[in-house]
Amino acid sequence: MRAQGARRMDEAEIRHWLEQLRVEHLDLDDIINKLIELRSYDAMQVQRLKKRKLKLKDMIARLESQLIPDLDA
């Protein structure tokens, strides 16, 4: 059961969010790689960025699954 006021996003909103999340995911990937190339990076900072990147990947997968039509329909 959904919380009061919560609603399902329509396809256009999902696609918009997906695009934003994918851009952020790619940006984080670039940042992480640049930090590692410097060889004088803060390991905790890189770990936090990797964790954020993984959360973004999970969010992207969840939103992509919402775009798949229900087979029961």
- The pLDDT confidence band at residue 2, using thresholds 50, 70 and 90, is very low
- Pick the residue with more confidence: 49 or 8? 49
List the helix and strand counts (H, then E) for the chain.
2, 0
**Interval 12-32: pLDDT, tens:** 999 999 999 999 999 999 999
pLDDT, averaged across the chain: 88
User: What pLDDT is stored for residue 1 in this prediction?
Assistant: 42
Would you kindly state where each structural domain of the chain is located, as residue ranges?
Answer: 11-65
> CB–CB of 24/56 below 8 Å?
yes
Who has greater pLDDT, 21 or 67?
A: 21
In single-letter form, the type of residue at position 57 comes to K
CB atoms within 10 A of CB 43: 9
